[in-house]
Amino acid sequence: MTLTTTAEGVSNRLEHAVLRDLAWLLVTPDLIELPGPNAYPGRPTRQELGLVDSVDDWLANLSSLVNALDGKLATRMGHYHERLWHLMLDNAPNTRLLAKNLRITQRRNTLGELDMLYRTRDNPAPIHLEVAIKFYLGLPEGPGDATCQSRWIGPGGLDSLALKCSHLRHHQLPISSTAIAQAIIAQWLSPRDLGHAPPCYPLTQRLAMPGVLFYPWHTTLPPPSGATVDHRRGKWCYLGDWPRFAAQRSETLKMAWLEKPHWLAPPPLDTFSSAKDYMADVTPLIHRYGPQQVMLYDPQERELAEEKPLERLVIVPDDWPRQVPLPPRARD
């Protein structure tokens, strides 16, 4: 174990959890693509952000800002993820955050909310970015065929990949193209360093949806339709299957528990402990709160490799899932 090791693209030199999560966001691909006539570009790239060669220095410069925010960042996963994007877009060399959580209203009725508007420093045209951080578990049996998005559900069983994609495609993303939204957006288009209103610029819409798809340990399941080729993957197993799962690893297997909202970046390697000992603490959490995400590290695997082979795992109660969301209703 050395200070130069990385896991999922995050350097072990980084210790602060928020900085590690920012580093993870920069290198983590989207889970899904929304193809078709209303296709939307994916997440902003490192090139667009101006963070190709200077990531380490940029993160170091954010340390004081992140420390000042310690304890003030949201604890809910979705809100925390949005805050990370706010930090990124407002501090990256090539982008500037114009507005966040922009409410679209008509006659005092809220029609929706835009996650954020930003622009690049060399182009005043606004970009509407919707973001979502998602962790879905694949069901070997369930709605539709083996590649159906409805088979991929959240740990709590309330959400599915199909429902999220439907909501994005039919509500969250299209709303910024409405006349009402355009009028509200126009108020935010003037760059801060200009004292005059800009001309009418075309609006670009983007979708950032990083996360992890967890495949069942006990059987094979193909990726859901629309999944990106390089999406991050993990596995899930029943609590009762843990002994058999662990038996396929070495006796030196180590584990770290991921506490929300820090389900993003792997924790530093020196926080991992014996998997046997860790399970004594994780098991009561599974019984009381439901599925828990852990990361596994086997020191005997590729010990000399710079990129440490970590494995993501969600351990679920033996009666999981207790509910499965209905597929989204069919639309024309």
Domain carrying residue 237: 233-316
pLDDT at 308: 60
Q: What would the pLDDT profile of 177-217 be if each residue is shown by its tens digit?
A: 888 888 888 887 654 544 444 555 678 889 999 999 999 99
Quote the mean pLDDT of the chain.
88
- Compute and round to an integer the Cα radius of gyration of the chain: 21
pLDDT at 186: 81
pLDDT (mean) for 54-79: 83
Indicate whether 85 belongs to any domain: no
When mean pLDDT is compared across 109-118, 128-137, 268-277, 280-289, the lowest value belongs to: 109-118
Which CATH number characterizes residue 308's domain? Answer: 3.30.1490
Three-state helix/strand/coil letters over the chain: CCCCCEECCEECCCCCHHHHHHHHHHHCCCCECCCCCCCCCCCCCHHHHCCCCCHHHHHHHCHHHHHHHCCCCCCCHHHHHHHHHHHHHHHCCCEEEEEEEEEEEECCEEEEEEEEEEEECCEEEEEEEEECCEEEEECCCCCCCCCCHHHEECCCCCCEHHHHHHHHHHHHCHHHHCHHHHHHHHHHCCCCCCCCCCCCCCCEEEEECCEEEEEECCCCCCCCCCECCCCCEEEEEEHHHHHHHHHCCCCCCEEEECCCCCCCCCCCHHHCEEHHHHHHHHHHHHHHHCCEEEEEECCCCCCCCCECCEEEEEEECCCCCCCCCCCCCCCC
Task: Report the number of distinct structural domains present in the chain.
Answer: 1
Indicate whether 133 belongs to any domain: no
More confident residue, 216 or 35: 216
Residue 158 pLDDT > 60, yes or no? yes
Q: Examine residue 174 and say whether the peptide bond preceding it is cis (omega within 30 degrees of 0).
A: no
Residue 73 pLDDT > 80, yes or no? no
When mean pLDDT is compared across 47-51, 179-183, 253-257, the lowest value belongs to: 179-183
Token pair 């706010």 in the structure block, residue: 86
CA dist 252 and 298 (Å) reads 6
State how far the alpha carbon of 23 is from the alpha carbons of 19, 54, 185, 265, 268, in Å. 6, 12, 30, 8, 13
More confident residue, 104 or 73: 104
Indicate whether 286 belongs to any domain: yes
Token pair 């490192």 in the structure block, residue: 46
CA dist 133 and 232 (Å) reads 12
Indicate whether 291 belongs to any domain: yes
Residue 88 pLDDT > 60, yes or no? yes
State how far the alpha carbon of 172 is from the alpha carbons of 45, 152, 212, in Å. 21, 20, 21
Q: Which long-range contacts (CB under 8 A, 24 or more apart) does 92-95 make?
A: 92/49, 92/50, 92/51, 92/58, 93/49, 93/50, 93/51, 93/54, 93/58, 93/121, 94/48, 94/49, 94/50, 94/51, 94/120, 94/121, 94/122, 95/44, 95/48, 95/49, 95/50, 95/119, 95/120, 95/121
Rounded to two decimals, the pTM is 0.92
Residue 322 pLDDT > 60, yes or no? yes
pLDDT (mean) for 265-294: 96
Indicate whether 131 belongs to any domain: no
Indicate whether 207 belongs to any domain: no
When mean pLDDT is compared across 122-126, 250-254, 256-260, the lowest value belongs to: 122-126
Indicate whether 287 belongs to any domain: yes
Indicate whether 302 belongs to any domain: yes
